[in-house]
Amino acid sequence: MSLERNIEDAAVELIRRAVTRLPAGVIAELERAERTESQDTPKRELRAMIENVREAGRCTLPMCQDTGIPLFFVTVGSFRVKGLEEVLAAAVRKATTEVPLRKNVVHPLTRANTGDNTGTDMPHIAYSFHDAEYMEISYMPKGAGSENMSALAMLNPSQGVQGIRKFVVETIAKAEGKPCPPVIIGVGLGGSSDMCMAMAKRALLRPVGEKNADPEMAKLEAELLELINRTGVGPMGLGGRTTALAVHVEWASCHTASLPVGLNVQCYAARRATIRVYPDGRTEFRGD
């Protein structure tokens, strides 16, 4: 079997795993939140979420009717795969029928549905590079409820950390129950407007609660998480202690006169899965 066919088959399974299972760390955080909630309503909602995730895994069926738009993050290693874009598109088309996935991809103006979750620049593939012998492919479907809460702020540098806190907390508070909290929040700081939004989304690939290696960024993550959970939005917007499970910040250097802040929200069903592909065609699924 060719390398391309191996990747296509593995990518179908990658998509299936992403939409039917949650990473163990996300489930652990949901269970922790359920234990620490003191009010009946948020405890009930969190129990329902946990049972929904478990049942989806048992039945190998999507845990949410909105199976999102197909987003791949590919880290290229020491070898290349010719036509990788078409290989992954073929996997999306096959997964749409076999998993199955809801047909979500439409033309932005006419709203005509492509019928197979592929289209212009869809699936979207974000590339990065490393020196390892393997290629890593992550799949992260994004549903509209959470994606629609994304936000960008081009702050004045004088607004500083206080301005960052205000923007992030107010954005999440205004979202209320729309993104199906408790959420995971990706924040991109610095760079340019497009860079910070891309960083915010990539931040959601980190295992839940994994701290940024930069002490100042790790401190900001902890501060933002505490402030967000003080809003009282709670699970599904019905009140409670847990509005967010984690805040992940990624950053880049920026212009002296600029402070871009991007925010991307992931719902409690923080779906993602990763495989490694080796030059000989072997594939290996990766956990947190």
Distances (CA, A) of 41 to 21, 37, 269: 25, 9, 19
Cα gap 162→222, rounded to integer Å: 14
Phi, psi (rounded to 5 degrees) for 220: -65, -40
- 59-69 average pLDDT score: 97
Q: Could you give phi then psi for residue 104, rounded to 5 degrees? A: -105, -15
| pLDDT (mean) for 200-209 | 96
- Copy the structure tokens of residue 70: 């197909």
Mark residue 113 as left, alpha or beta (left: phi above 0; alpha: psi -120 to 50; beta: remaining): beta
* Sign (positive or negative) of CA dihedral 211, 217, 218, 222: negative
Mean pLDDT score, 201-219: 96
Residues 6+ apart with CB under 8 A from 274: 14, 136, 137, 138, 139, 285, 286
| Residue 110 dihedral angles phi and psi, to the nearest 5° | -80, -20
Domain extents in the chain: 3-21+63-141+271-286, 144-266
Cα separation of 270 and 146, whole Å?
10
CA-to-CA separations, 95 to 53, 92, 126, in angstroms, rounded: 20, 5, 20
Sign of CA dihedral 176, 265, 20, 40: negative
pLDDT at residue number 2: 86
pTM here is: 0.95
Query: What radius of gyration do the chain's Cα atoms show?
Result: 19
The pLDDT score that the predictor gives to residue 36 is 95
pLDDT computed for residue 209 by the predictor = 86
User: What order do you get walking across the sheet with 244-254 strand by strand?
Assistant: 151-155, 259-266, 183-191, 244-254
d(Cα 182, Cα 234) in Å, to the nearest integer?
7
- pLDDT tens profile 17-56: 999 999 999 999 999 999 999 999 999 999 999 999 999 9
